[in-house]
Amino acid sequence: MGILVESTPNPNAMKFTAKENIFSGDGSISVMPGQTSEYEILNELMKLDGVDNVFGYKNFITVNKTFDAEWDQLTPKVEEVLEKYGY
């Protein structure tokens, strides 16, 4: 398994890429505060303290953090959720 973690041009967003697809189909999935998704992995990420919203497509999830959250504390929590789902 293993996840590639990459920064994005937005300092409040990080991209988490798996070796295999997480999502099926050709559509992307976004979950904003107060919303849920048919994908439990996205719902669980939204429950993490410091996550503002998530975006998923094929084999990656982009996590946007709240302004007061720090990536050094949030990244391991995101990776833990992804590992729980086998990525």
**Tens-of-pLDDT digits for all 87 residues of the chain?**
589 999 999 999 999 999 999 999 999 999 999 999 999 999 999 999 999 999 999 999 999 999 999 999 999 999 999 999 999
Q: State which fold the 3-84 domain adopts.
A: Ribosomal Protein S8; Chain: A, domain 1 (3.30.1370)
* 64 CB neighbour count, 10 Å cutoff: 17
Spatial CB neighbours of 11, under 8 Å, sequence gap ≥ 6: none
Sheet order of strands, 51-57 included: 3-7, 13-18, 60-65, 51-57, 29-31
Domain ranges of the chain: 3-84
Spatial CB neighbours of 10, under 8 Å, sequence gap ≥ 6: 64
* CA pair distance 49, 38, nearest whole angstrom: 21
Q: What is the pTM of this model?
A: 0.95
